[in-house]
Amino acid sequence: MARASKGDVDYDAKLVPVYGSRDVTQGIPKYALPEEGMEARSAYRLVMDEVLKEGNPRLNLATFVTTWMEPEAKTLMAETFDKNMIDKDEYPQTAEIERRCVIMLGRLWRAPDISRIIGCSTTGSSEACMLAGLALKWKWRERRRQAGKSTDRPNLVMGINVQVCWEKFCRYWDVEMRLAPMEPGSYALTPEKMLPFCDENTIGVVAILGSTFTGEYEPVSALHDALMELNGRTGWDVPLHVDAASGGMVAPFLEPDVAWDFRLPLVKSINTSGHKYGLVYPGVGWAVWRDQEELHEDLVFKVNYLGGEMPTFALNFSRPGNQVLAQYYNFIRLGYEGYRRVQQACRDVAQYIAGELAGMNVFDVIHDGSDLPVLAWRIKDGVDVKFTLFELSDRLRMTGWQVPAYSFPDNLTDVVVMRVVVREGVSRDVADMLLEDIHQALRFFESSGQSGQLHASAGGEVAFHH
């Protein structure tokens, strides 16, 4: 029966199921702003469906970034999305909570005088590293000017295993990047590798806790002692920054007695990613300086804003305040003991996976999760296997896992490793599912006799047990 009135049509339109509506049976607008809009429910479905095949973030074992938070934390974040972190005058309590987080971190990192520290939240460790690097550069320049010396050629010393944000820092702010190489069996900075790169123009040394290549901690306290000795001998003033993007929220809970932090006098600043082992969804990071003196006053802007005067040190202006609130939520929800348990559980699972992989007899585990809960392995020298780690990575993709394979930088580019980051939510059961899929993949390679590019030689049974 034909519909008679407009009223009937409207009534029917409400009953149209979402996948029966015109919006979803036509193509999606892609590169031009559409003339007219669509129903909210259709737009929601279309966008959600566009990202369907991106994979399940929980199965992404490549990332360090948080992929699980409690329902209460999600609710809190959803309800505070509208707070702009920069409006400290309008959202003074959010600003106060940011300050509390900085002070809690200063204590966690053993600042000797908590009343002297200064710090801020950022969009992540990358921004925090830019700020810390700038502070080092300004401080160095001030020392040089006072001594009547040239400020033309600043350099920064670090291992080649640094995260790309440090290369960015050096390029964007005109600082010579001095990268100590990796060597066979030595994938991180050591005092011996560091010292030859330092001179009077070194604005600082970056130590990493821990390396994204392997998960291992760099020996911060040994680097510190070597710099103390060097400074004493030469009259230089080379300080340390610790890039603790991951380790800053792991080491204080699992190795509270290891001094890598403000207990070491030359450690002037530390950064961490709130969205890594700080357990908050992206993007939040933190930078903390041991003493206000380390942050040159020229770097801090006093912004006259909505009637208030507000000091800021940041690359961004507006950004979400809800991530800072979520960080504070985690701090009071978990406390020291809660973080310890979560990180210990991650380490236990990482070490469990490492043990199982070692037992397969084809892999050489080069880091077993005993620093960061991260493990890295390569194919054992001398075993004849019919696959490469790149092929294994591809094969695991078929069951949903994202486990990266990559080669090391200059000097060791022929070393290929595979890495798994164990985060909150990678339980023992999830680990067993991964291990089962690795076994399956090995059986597949064995039976299909596939020959890898890097290990093309034929013959030789791969020994592995289930």
Ligand X SMILES: *Cc1c(COP(=O)(O)O)cnc(C)c1O
Residues that bind ligand X (CB under 6 A): 64, 124-126, 129, 163, 165, 208, 212, 243, 245-246, 273, 285
Least distance (Å) between residue 133 CB and ligand X:
12
Give the nearer residue to ligand X in terms of CB position, either 23 or 243.
243
CA angle 138, 141, 146 (to 5 degrees): 130
Least distance (Å) between residue 402 CB and ligand X:
16
Which residue of this chain has its Cβ atom nearest to ligand X in the complex? 124
Cα distance between residue 271 and residue 209, in whole Å:
10
309 DSSP β-pair partners = 304
Least distance (Å) between residue 289 CB and ligand X:
17
Give the nearer residue to ligand X in terms of CB position, either 374 or 412.
374
DSSP-derived pairing of the beta strands 202-208 and 155-159: parallel
406 DSSP β-pair partners = 417
Contacts of 382 (CB under 8 A, 6+ apart): none
Cα distance between residue 370 and residue 37, in whole Å:
53
Question: Which tokens go with 264?
Answer: 């070491």
Give the nearer residue to ligand X in terms of CB position, either 193 or 241.
241
CB of 214 closer than 8 Å to CB of 367: yes
CA angle 152, 156, 162 (to 5 degrees): 150
Cα distance between residue 428 and residue 145, in whole Å:
57
Of 248, 421, 217, 424, give the one whose Cα is nearest residue 341.
Answer: 424
Give the nearer residue to ligand X in terms of CB position, either 246 or 388.
246
Of 441, 466, 464, 465, give the one whose Cα is nearest residue 388.
Answer: 441
DSSP letter for 344, please. Answer: H
Question: In the sheet that 374-379 helps form, which strands lie side by side, from edge to edge?
Answer: 363-368, 374-379, 416-421, 405-407
Least distance (Å) between residue 419 CB and ligand X:
12
Token pair 């064995």: residue: 446
Give the nearer residue to ligand X in terms of CB position, either 409 or 452.
409
Give the nearer residue to ligand X in terms of CB position, either 141 or 168.
168
Least distance (Å) between residue 183 CB and ligand X:
20
Q: What are phi and psi of 301, to 5 degrees?
A: -95, 135
Give the nearer residue to ligand X in terms of CB position, either 212 or 330.
212
Cα distance between residue 26 and residue 36, in whole Å:
14
- Full DSSP string of 130-185: HHHHHHHHHHHHHHHHHTT---S--EEEEETT--HHHHHHHHHTT-EEEEEPPBTT
Least distance (Å) between residue 282 CB and ligand X:
8
Cα distance between residue 43 and residue 421, in whole Å:
34
Least distance (Å) between residue 154 CB and ligand X:
20
Least distance (Å) between residue 316 CB and ligand X:
12
Least distance (Å) between residue 455 CB and ligand X:
30
Least distance (Å) between residue 34 CB and ligand X:
34
Least distance (Å) between residue 399 CB and ligand X:
26
DSSP-derived pairing of the beta strands 155-159 and 301-305: unpaired
Question: Which tokens go with 369?
Answer: 């999760």
CB of 409 closer than 8 Å to CB of 416: no
Give the nearer residue to ligand X in terms of CB position, either 418 or 421.
421
- Measured between alpha carbons, how far is residue 335 from residues 129, 253, 279, 310 in Å? 26, 11, 12, 30
